[in-house]
Each structure stands twice: as structure tokens, then as C-alpha cells.
Amino acid sequence: MPKPERPYRVIISGGGTGGHIYPAVAIANQLRVVNPQAEILFVGAQGRMEMTRVPEAGYKIVGLWISGLQRRLTLDNLSFPLKVLSSVRASHKIIKDFKPDAVVGVGGYASGPLLYAATSRGIPSLIQEQNSYAGITNKLLSKRADKVCVAYPSMEAFFPADKLVLTGNPVRSDIMDLKGKRDEAMQHFGLQPEKKTILIIGGSLGARTINQSIAAGVEQIAGAGCQLIWQTGKAFYPQAQELETKYKAQGIRALDFIKRMDLAYAAADVVISRAGALSISELCLAGKPAVLVPSPNVAEDHQTKNAMALVQQEAAILVKDAEAMERLVPTALQLLEDEQEQQRLQQNIRKMARPNAAADIVNELIKLIK
């Protein structure tokens, strides 16, 4: 690509969960690789996790007063129209002050008002959809956006076909190369290098069924002589801490949130995970044998669709949420003992990785700017 003549100015909006935030940060990081002086501003929702995670990644963020519609009648729903109007107005001011060359929406509450305001001013816009089943904000905005970058084929059901580009999901670059990190990982988590290790990731906010299943089976895990790195989310953390205290000598480690995911993957022999789009993209790049427990509490059961894309390629094992209490721990321990099956899953999951996703998305963005 020819060297850019000037620093680009880009707003990236969205968030709510790690599944929206980390792709957004990966896009920003790649933009800085291509255009080192680029001015990047994030726009998130007040009180959501992007307001802390984005500054930790080294970027400035502005928060909008916006939240989603609840499925039941609540006071929040009554204030929703007011929040939308307020956020659209605030977005117009942000755009007027920042003067972006282009805007990127990654899904989540803040994405809607910001992209609506930007497209009504004729500013080039790009949407990045992480899931195999598109979110409502992105579906509505796609009619106004210039490009829609997707992670799964056959997304014409949700978006205008002429705007689609299949890029995959951008993930944190440190996950792409785990070679030689195992010793550092073991030291970081205080684990024994000679023991096998299971990594539990229920998503950035935790996953109740996975946490309860692990809590019920933690004695079995410790008894099998293997170690555990367990990301619980905030709500379950106090309960998991008690179990960690009890089984610390056996290598049970509970954390409410893992910042060094590269080291967590480097330490892991087997991963137990929800089937969010970002988790699956990371597992493909890390090339780890995985037991997937799709969340049943998501739109159109899209996590099961995400998981089945891997299961059909013999690249992961599926345990249904409703069966997790009985099956999850025995399935993971069985996989941990079967090295041949681990290798087969690893080979197949690596074939599904898209390591150039961030670069491909930034290429599309720069085409829009030019």
C-alpha cells in the first residue's frame, strides 16, 4: 500500500462487551501501523466496560448517555427515546468538533447514534459485524453505511450484498504468536509447568452456567492432577475466590478478568469457552482444542450457530448449556487425557483462522477515506 500523505482522523464507536471492544481496539492498532500519526477517538456508552478498557489500551474515549431496550417494561425503557435523541445530538457535536475522515461502528449501544449522525453528514462509514447472526443496530445502520465487514460467509440475509466484505474478526495481535510464551505464562499465573492446564473463559462478563459447572467439578479437576485458569467475571468472583483458597496448592487460579489473554492461551492445553464470535476467532488463531458451551441467552441462538461452524469441521467439541452441569467437566478432563484428539482439533481449528482480519478492515477503511 502506498504511504499515506497525512494523518487520518477516525472515530470508532460501540462496545458493551469484550466481543465489541477488542475488535475495535485491534482496528485502531492496525490503523496506527499503517498511518502512525492517525488521530483516533472512541465513542462508547457511559458506565459500560469500554469506558475503562479503551483508555487502558491507550486511546481517548467519550461516553454517550445511551443504553439498550429491555425486553420487559422498565423505567429505562421509558427514558430510551430521550437517550437516543440526546446521544444523536451529542454525536453531531463530537463529529463537528473532531472532523473525522471516516467512522467505524462495531456494534453495541453507542454505535447507533454515532453512525446515524455521521452518515447524515455524508461522512464515509464502515460497520464491522462479529457474529454469524447480525445485531439489530448493525442491521438498521447497514442501509446507511458504505461498507460492512463480516466474519462469516452468507451474510446477505442481513446486509446489502453489494456492501459486504468477508474479512473475519480482528483480534488482539499478541494472540497470533504464542510460541515460547509457556514458561512466562506458568510463572505469571503461579502454575507448575509439568502439569496440564484448563483455561475457562465465559466471556468478559463471565458465564453463570460455566461458572456453576466448574464450581461443582473443581474437586474432580484438582483430583485429576490438572490446573485451572478460571476467568469468572465480577459477579461470580467472590465464590470462586473461596474455592481458589481451598485448592490453591493444587493449581486452581480464579480471576474476575484476565488482562494477559496471550499468556492464558499459552498456558492452556484445553480451553472451555462460550461461543461468542470473538472467542471463536481467538481460539482459531491460538489453535487451541476447545470445548464450547454456547450461551442460550443471545439473539436467535447465534452462539450455537457460531459453535456449529467449528463442530461441523471437527474443530471443536460442543456441550449444550442445559447439559453443562453433568457433562462439562468430564468432557474437558477426557479431552485433556486424549492427546491424539487434541492434535486433531488443533489442526482443524487452525485452518479456520483469519490472521489478516484487522489489516483487511483497515484497507477497506482507507479506500473509503481516499
Q: Which amino acids are annotated as binding site, given as ranges?
A: 17-19, 131, 172, 204, 258, 303
322-329 contacts, C-beta under 8 A, 24 or more apart: 322/296, 324/209, 324/210, 324/212, 324/213, 324/293, 325/209, 325/212, 325/213, 325/216, 328/210, 328/213, 328/214, 328/217, 328/272, 328/291, 328/293, 329/213, 329/214, 329/216, 329/217, 329/220, 329/221
In eight-state DSSP terms, residue 272 is E
Q: What is the DSSP letter of 69?
A: P
What residues contact 112, with CB distance under 8 A and at least 6 apart? 66, 84, 87, 105, 137, 140, 141
| C-alpha Rg value of the chain to the nearest Å | 21
Binding site listing for UDP-N-acetyl-alpha-D-glucosamine:
17-19, 131, 172, 204, 258, 303
